[in-house]
Amino acid sequence: MEKVTKILVHLSKNNVAPQCARFVQSITGHFTETLDDEVEVKCSLENNRFILCDCEKGRGIPLKRATFCPFKYLSVAEAAAIPLDVQSRGVDVGVAILLQSANQKVLLTRRASSLRIFPNVWVPPGGHVELDERLLDAGLRELREETGLKLDPGDVSAQLLGLWESVFPPMLSRGMPQRHHVVTYMLLNTSLTHQQLQASLRPKPAEVSGCLWVDASLVKAIVSAVDGEEGSVTQLEGLAPTISVSEVSPEGGLSESILPLSVLCNRAPNSGEDVERVSTGTKYALELWLKNLEGQGTRC
């Protein structure tokens, strides 16, 4: 048996034994009969394999890709032209943590400008799932490594919100795919307020350049800026034109700064350099978070 060196996505359909997903195949497309961009699946982490299976509607969790996902449009010739060392990577597994405070705010972090993948983009804390880790343990480890927040499994209540098929670059017009992940978005509820959590923040400057707590009203504006739909209307009515963020110094210190709200409502550009924005996958996760809040109603 081949030695497992990292967690990869495996796919099962119609009760067939799970097979390792190929780098060039669309994970979402594997489970849809059409060009739909969202489907329900079941997922499990077994023997260092992240297994996705088909299921009946209403019995799984959502898996989604961007409307402009490169693997939705990649031709056979283009797929064959991808370097073999890239094709051999398979589809990696990531976990991202939506940390919800007791007063219903969620933590976002801005990726450092020195990072090769999605620099200067706002995302929840997260990263790769390591061998022999549970999803929750991986999420808590990444939260601790990136932000300095040390939470134990007993300190939070955890819920899997959904899965996102992430590709970099995010669209073919910006280059051929170099990275392919399925990101698991986990919601962690804590009994601490965002002020209490903020006091314990110790971000890692090599990975994080800024921190921001967002509430439902701000999230609604962010998700209204739909990537790939330039004509969509961004809902900024009633919100202040600027927001307060915590900038991270090269030494890891925090200082308050002002950021135009419009920056968080930037859309993914079709070409050229990326811009500071909230990632498309994060917008999807925040939409799921809003639905979860609405479902809780006054019990929140």
Mean pLDDT, residues 180-194: 97
Query: Quick one: pLDDT at residue 230?
Result: 73
Alpha-carbon torsion angle 274, 280, 282, 286, nearest 10:
140
Mean pLDDT, residues 23-50: 94
Residue 300 has pLDDT above 60, yes or no: no
Residue 32 has pLDDT above 80, yes or no: yes
Q: Provide the whole-model pTM.
A: 0.94
Binned at pLDDT 50, 70 and 90, residue 281 comes out as very high
The residue type found at 181 is: H
Between the two ends of the chain, the Cα-to-Cα distance in Å is 48
Mean pLDDT, residues 228-238: 75
d(CA 281, CA 16): 29
Mean pLDDT, residues 259-287: 95
Q: List the single range of 98-112, 117-131, 239-253, 283-297 with lowest mean pLDDT.
A: 283-297
Mean pLDDT, residues 209-233: 90
Q: What are the φ/ψ torsions at residue 213 (nearest 5 degrees)?
A: -100, 125
Paired sense of beta strands 106-111 and 121-123, if any: antiparallel
Mean pLDDT, residues 119-124: 98
d(CA 97, CA 140): 8
Query: Quick one: pLDDT at residue 298?
Result: 35
Query: Quick one: pLDDT at residue 2?
Result: 63
Query: Quick one: pLDDT at residue 35?
Result: 86
Residue 269 has pLDDT above 80, yes or no: yes
Please check whether the domain covering 8-298 is classified as CATH 3.40.50.2000.
Answer: no
d(CA 245, CA 275): 17
User: Among 297, 291, 299, 289, which residue's Cα sits nearest to residue 100?
Assistant: 289
Binned at pLDDT 50, 70 and 90, residue 3 comes out as confident
Query: Quick one: pLDDT at residue 56?
Result: 86
Burial class (CB in 10 A: 0-12, 13-18, 19+), 80: exposed
C-alpha separations of 54 from 13, 65, 91, 159 in Å: 5, 16, 18, 20
Query: Quick one: pLDDT at residue 232?
Result: 64
C-alpha separations of 210 from 226, 253, 267, 288, 292 in Å: 23, 10, 19, 23, 26
248 token code pair: 């991270």
Q: Which residues contact 83 (CB under 8 A, 6 or more apart)?
A: none
Query: Quick one: pLDDT at residue 11?
Result: 98
Percentage of the chain beyond pLDDT 70 is 97
Residue 97 has pLDDT above 60, yes or no: yes
Percentage of the chain beyond pLDDT 90 is 88
